[in-house]
Structure 1
Amino acid sequence: MCGRYFRRSDKQRIAEAFHLGVFDDLPLEVAPSYNIVPTTMQPVIRNNRDTGEREMVVMRWGMVPHFAKSLAGFKGFSTINAKAETLLSKPLWRVPFHRRRCLIPADGFYEWKRLNEKTKQPYAFALRNGEPFAFGGVWDAWKDPATEDWLQSFSIITTEPNELTATVHDRMPMILKPSDYDRWLDRTDSDRIPVDLLKPYEAGEMSAHPVDPRVGSVRNNEPGLCALWDCPPNSQ
């Protein structure tokens, strides 16, 4: 699964990287975050239903389906990821995958490698070129029956690991190439879904390094968390 990721990019950098147009037209306040955890509100990119142009909105990480009777039943941790293998077979994911796909801007993600029965070492995974990228995701909108307020939320799709990620974990988040963004975001033809993009990212284009174990606490959120950490002897 993918339960933590980081984003060095602020609103302007995201707008530039994902070609969102005029920066002044984006009203959202989006700051870098180095330890992103489920149930928090994060920037997500989708195609506007009316104009077809890319837009950035803020959504809750942990998809709450439109048919949920209450938020308590979907606190986010069980729906933070959607397995690529079950997107078409499970009702929870089938309609969002056909009609509501999105990009989740990121600069990297964390996974934990078990060293022994008591110790896990976190690793940061990123692109070798250091550029921001996008996870493939799905989203939904839920209306609170008590307040009639709308909540938009997303899930990160996961796939089998590539050779690099497999050294640490048995799953990895789906990463899209910029050349595939348009096709992934397209909402005009729900019958021609991009199933072929549901695959691991090339291992040779990624890097991995150990990071400070303090990333395990949701209270910690600082630039040094995703930097190379000097492991104590015999800790790897």
Structure 2
Amino acid sequence: MCTKVTQRASVKEIQKKYKASLPPEEASKPDTPNYNANGYDHPQLVVIQNEHGRSVEKMQWGLMPNWKRPLEEMLTLAKGNLNARSDTIFEKPSFKDSILHCRCIIPVEGFFEYQDRGKAGKQPFFIFPKGMDTFNFCGIYAHYYSAETKETIRSFAIVTTDANEMMAEIHNKKLRMPLIIAEDQIDAWLNPNATREEIEKLMVPYPSDLMKGYEVSQDLAKMGNVSKAIEEVRKNPDLFGEQGTMDFI
């Protein structure tokens, strides 16, 4: 599972970096730096989609397919739709239409995962890109129309895949990680005409040597959306090399 991410850049900064258009209604929305965005709170994050050319907009984290069900029921469903597994995404009713027709990119500066240390409890890590400013998370999105509120809710899920070497050390029980792609693969992921076979070729673990990670506070879950959440804490030279930082070279 990937349920906590960092996305501090503004929508205009993301628009510029990804050379995307910015609809006026999106430009007018307030920007909130997300240091510790918790998917279970359904935050609004900036995503890049390609319905009519590459464009940025904010969407709710927690995918809600356009089913004719009450809003309360769909919001409950969304809590289980923060992630979409790459190995079942083409068959799951919630995801199978979106993976073929509605794919997006979620740019993040990093994300959090927990390492199970048995009796010592679970240690959260902050994982971030080496030598780059963002990861390109692969996602899918959907439009849900609520008959009760007469509004359309646009929402997304982060696609996950098998853990690479580094993530298998950190996320050592689930052995999963977000699906991350390189800059030169973004067009292929967003291509509305991509076939299932072309999409599946992109669903491979991101290289460990392009990632780094360090321990953060065990109180991460209690902190909320504050900058302290991404601060490195306890140094432990016996874990993963110098200063407790995981760095696969």
Give the structure-1-normalised TM-score: 0.89
Counterpart contact for 2:11–2:57, Cα < 8 Å: no
More helix by share: 2
Q: How far, CA to CA, are the matches of 2:106 and 2:217 in structure 1?
A: 24
Give the aligned partner of residue 213 of structure 2.
208
Give the aligned partner of residue 189 of structure 2.
184
Unaligned 5+ residue runs, structure 2? 245-249
Q: How far, CA to CA, are the matches of 2:177 and 2:68 in structure 1?
A: 27
Runs of 4+ in structure 1 over 4 Å off? 21-26, 189-193, 231-236
Give the aligned partner of residue 4 of structure 2.
4
Give the aligned partner of residue 59 of structure 1.
59
Count of aligned positions: 232
Residues 6-15 or 36-45, more deviating: 6-15
Q: What is the root-mean-square deviation of aligned Cα atoms in Å?
A: 2.4
Give the structure-2-normalised TM-score: 0.84
Q: Please say if 1:17 is aligned against 2:20.
A: no
Deviations 1:180-228 (A, max 9, x none): 11111111455664211111100001001101223212x5222231122
When residues 45 and 122 of structure 1 are mapped into structure 2, their CA distance, relative to the original with a 3 A threshold, is: same
Shift of 1:77: 1.9
When residues 23 and 214 of structure 1 are mapped into structure 2, their CA distance, relative to the original with a 3 A threshold, is: farther
Amino-acid identity (%): 25
Give the aligned partner of residue 40 of structure 1.
43
- 1:23-102 correspondence to structure 2 within 5 Å: 27=27, 28-38=29-39, 39-47=42-50, 49=51, 52-74=52-74, 75=76, 76-102=78-104
Q: How far, CA to CA, are the matches of 2:176 and 2:33 in structure 1?
A: 25
- 1:64-213 correspondence to structure 2 within 5 Å: 64-74=64-74, 75=76, 76-117=78-119, 119-169=121-171, 170-189=175-194, 193-213=198-218
Counterpart contact for 1:15–1:23, Cα < 8 Å: no
Q: How far, CA to CA, are the matches of 1:85 and 1:161 in structure 2?
A: 13
Aligned amino acid, residue 212 of structure 1: S
Q: How far, CA to CA, are the matches of 1:204 and 1:184 in structure 2?
A: 22
Unaligned 5+ residue runs, structure 1? none
Deviations 1:45-80 (A, max 9, x none): 101x3xx32111111100011115023223222100
